[in-house]
């Protein structure tokens, strides 16, 4: 799980960079989890490496399946490019 979480956040980071934004510009985060209760602790540790603890707004959703059977987590984010700048 931790490896997939890290891969998902790194993919988000690359997508944001292509739009001249960073993880600091994320204002809303939604994550989808196959094993919400069993893997949340691992996911939170990875998320906290990349994003501040109490920001952005975060919605966590437990699901029965994702697009591919081997996936454990999916991330959706809304960012406002430049919003993190003073």
**What are the extents of the domains in the chain?**
2-79
pLDDT, one tens digit per residue, over 31-45 is 999 999 999 999 999
Which CATH number is correct for 2-79, 2.60.40.10, 3.30.1330.40, 3.90.660.10, 3.40.50.1860?
Answer: 3.30.1330.40
Q: What is the mean pLDDT of residues 57-86?
A: 92
Res. 1: pLDDT tops 80:
yes
86 falls in which pLDDT band (50, 70, 90)? low
- Rounded to the nearest 5°, which phi and psi values hold at 9? -70, -40
Under a CB-based contact definition with an 8 Å cutoff, are residues 75 and 29 in contact?
Answer: yes
- Strands 57-62 and 26-33: what pairing? parallel
pTM over 0.75: yes
How far apart are the C-alpha atoms of 68 and 81, rounded to whole Å? 30
């Amino acid at each position: 799980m931790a490896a997939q979480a890290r891969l998902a956040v790194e993919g988000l980071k690359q997508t944001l960079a292509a739009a001249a934004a960073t993880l600091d510009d994320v204002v809303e985060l939604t994550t989808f989890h196959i094993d919400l209760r069993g893997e949340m602790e691992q996911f939170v540790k990875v998320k906290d490496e990349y994003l501040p603890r109490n920001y952005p707004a975060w919605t966590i959703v437990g699901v029965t399946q994702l697009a591919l059977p081997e996936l454990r987590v999916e991330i959706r984010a809304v960012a406002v490019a430049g919003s993190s700048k003073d």
